[in-house]
């Protein structure tokens, strides 16, 4: 694929995924951090972390951008612009949108000063509910100059939700989709323009997952087990695939970064499996390619699943990384053959199996959860918080001890992973009290969210 075939128009202006891999080493990292659910009466915030090993403030939070109000539960985030800007060089990846899952607020952060971002605007959740009957904002993707946000529920927190459409000034356009027939729940999504395709996944209604996890809700059918293939231009679902018991709670959706590729993956969280899909000429083939067995643990009501809570693909589409939040390990798979992933690296970090209660001399409250890979594929950053009520349920010590951020060194040539003991960010010692750290982004660009043309 020639660089000109997939020109990115934002941030540093990478011409292609391959060009992005040659970018200078990242020096800053943003992490959403929250007090929601901790007992600390303070707004959630965006933490700016110094990840430059030559800096005197290396591995520290150097700035905190607070949200306007309490109780957002910041979770995922996304940029106002990406490589789907259709070669419009006037667009810049300047604004980071931080959805509040509980309030439905969309907090727009101006990163013009990368070290000290500012709150630019809040799109009120009450306005979103009133105009679109949607709540529970989750995944943010740019759409040319506009923005799409997956919404997990209606205004009252019931399923199935839908998709919110914003213009480039962050004004509400309305609902993006033309229909949601076949969709029981909503969660993550990714589109691949050259294939006129979008894939979305399912978690549960906000009213189900917000109070915490109840195993009985799975038996009651209150959690998703399907993924949906969309006609992207038509904004309608073409085919829904029920993954059954092997695909309970499919969450993170990832296509290859190569815009010509139809290959993609989704992690089924509760079933602890990864599925691979691709076009077969007539439609879409889908197959299970990774299966992580549950483990019998004393006191746990069922064999404990690993709980795959995040996956990502390296910029060159060579490796897939995943986190097992309950078991406590991070994994690296070689996916050169997407139908036959090969395990090439593994690091233990916290978790409930007791294999790594400490890492680099630090007690881990929680397990590996959100992950972010450097553009060159050599550094994997990881945080330990999943969702406030789920944290409190499975890792109660996190409420007083806070979450943390670690760095894993990766070998992109031969495979392999190891903990970097020099890097540790302790969110348990934040100025206003123990905080939870969740998703991460780089100023100007990151590997997990960019969609190329």
Q: What residue segments make up the domains of the chain, in order of their start? A: 28-42+127-441
At residue 134, the pLDDT reads 98
At residue 185, the pLDDT reads 98
Paired residues of 102 in beta bridges: none
List, for residues 333-392, the tens digit of each pLDDT value.
Answer: 999 999 999 999 999 999 999 999 999 999 999 999 999 999 999 999 999 999 999 999
Paired residues of 98 in beta bridges: 107
**C-alpha dihedral over 145, 142, 314, 243, to 10 degrees?**
-140
Residue from 4, 22, 30 nearest 444 by CA: 30
Q: Coil, strand or helix: which one is 317? A: coil
- Residue tagged 């989750």 (tokens): 138
At residue 322, the pLDDT reads 98
In contact, 134 and 155? CB cutoff 8 Å: yes
Q: Report the alpha-carbon distance of residue 393 to residue 91 in Å, rounded.
A: 43
Paired residues of 172 in beta bridges: 166
Q: Report the alpha-carbon distance of residue 111 to residue 445 in Å, rounded.
A: 12
Cα(first)–Cα(last) distance of the chain, in Å?
A: 11
Q: Report the alpha-carbon distance of residue 243 to residue 306 in Å, rounded.
A: 18
Q: Mean pLDDT, consecutive 10-residue segments, the chain of 453 residues? A: 32 66 90 95 98 98 98 95 60 90 98 97 98 98 89 98 97 97 97 94 98 97 98 97 98 95 98 97 94 96 97 96 98 98 98 97 97 95 98 97 98 97 98 97 75 75
Q: Nearest 5°: CA angle at 335, between 331 and 336?
A: 145
CA dist 409 to 88, 347, 369, 391, Å?
35, 10, 17, 26
Q: What topology is assigned to 28-42+127-441 in CATH?
A: Methylamine Dehydrogenase; Chain H (2.130.10)
Reading across the β-sheet that carries 329-334, which strands appear in turn? 308-313, 319-324, 329-334, 342-348
In contact, 322 and 269? CB cutoff 8 Å: no
Q: Report the alpha-carbon distance of residue 426 to residue 436 in Å, rounded.
A: 10
Q: Coil, strand or helix: which one is 129? A: helix
Q: Report the alpha-carbon distance of residue 273 to residue 63 in Å, rounded.
A: 38
H-helix segments, 23-165: 125-132
Q: Report the alpha-carbon distance of residue 379 to residue 393 in Å, rounded.
A: 30
At residue 28, the pLDDT reads 97
Helix (H) or strand (E) holding 291: strand 284-291
At residue 83, the pLDDT reads 56
> Residue 321: how many CB atoms within 10 A of its CB?
26
**Could you tell me the pTM of the whole model?**
0.95
């Amino acid at each position: 694929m020639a660089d000109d075939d997939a020109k990115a128009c934002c941030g540093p202006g990478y011409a292609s995924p391959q060009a992005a891999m040659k970018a200078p080493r990242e020096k800053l990292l943003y992490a959403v951090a929250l007090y929601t659910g901790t007992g600390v009466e303070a707004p959630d915030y965006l933490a700016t972390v110094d990840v430059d090993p030559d800096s005197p403030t290396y591995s520290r939070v150097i700035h905190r951008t607070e949200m306007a109000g309490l109780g957002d539960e910041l979770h995922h985030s996304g940029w106002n612009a990406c490589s789907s800007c259709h070669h419009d060089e006037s667009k810049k990846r300047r604004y980071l949108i931080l959805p509040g899952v509980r309030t439905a607020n969309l907090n727009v952060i101006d990163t013009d000063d990368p070290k000290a971002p500012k709150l630019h605007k809040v799109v009120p959740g009450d306005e979103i509910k009133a105009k679109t009957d949607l709540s529970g904002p989750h995944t943010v993707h740019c759409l040319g100059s506009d923005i799409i946000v997956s919404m997990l529920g209606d205004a009252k927190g019931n399923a199935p939700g839908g998709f919110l459409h914003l213009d480039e000034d962050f004004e509400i356009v309305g609902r993006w989709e033309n229909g949601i027939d076949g969709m029981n729940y909503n969660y993550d999504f990714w589109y691949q323009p050259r294939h006129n395709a979008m894939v979305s996944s399912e978690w549960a209604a906000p009213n189900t997952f917000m109070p915490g996890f109840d195993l009985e809700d799975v038996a009651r059918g209150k959690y998703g087990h399907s993924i949906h293939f969309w006609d992207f231009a038509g904004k309608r679902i073409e085919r829904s695939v029920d993954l059954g018991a092997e695909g309970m709670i499919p969450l993170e959706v990832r296509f290859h970064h190569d815009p010509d590729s139809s290959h993609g993956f989704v992690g089924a969280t509760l079933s602890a499996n990864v599925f691979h899909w691709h076009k077969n000429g007539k439609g879409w083939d889908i197959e299970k390619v990774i299966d992580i067995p549950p483990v019998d643990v004393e006191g746990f009501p069922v064999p404990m699943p690993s709980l795959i809570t995040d996956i990502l693909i390296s910029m060159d589409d060579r490796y897939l990384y995943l986190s097992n939040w309950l078991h406590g390990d991070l994994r690296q798979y070689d996916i050169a053959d997407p139908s036959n992933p090969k395990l090439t690296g593994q690091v233990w970090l916290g978790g409930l199996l007791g294999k790594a209660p400490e890492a680099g001399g630090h007690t881990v409250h929680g397990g590996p959860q959100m992950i972010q890979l450097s553009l060159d594929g050599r550094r994997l950053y990881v945080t330990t918080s999943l969702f406030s009520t789920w944290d409190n349920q499975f890792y109660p010590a996190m409420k007083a001890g806070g979450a943390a951020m670690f760095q894993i060194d990766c070998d992109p040539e031969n495979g392999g992973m190891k903990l970097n003991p020099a890097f540790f960010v302790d969110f348990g010692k934040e100025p206003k009290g123990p905080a939870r750290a969740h998703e991460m982004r780089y100023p100007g660009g990151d590997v997990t969210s960019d969609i190329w043309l």
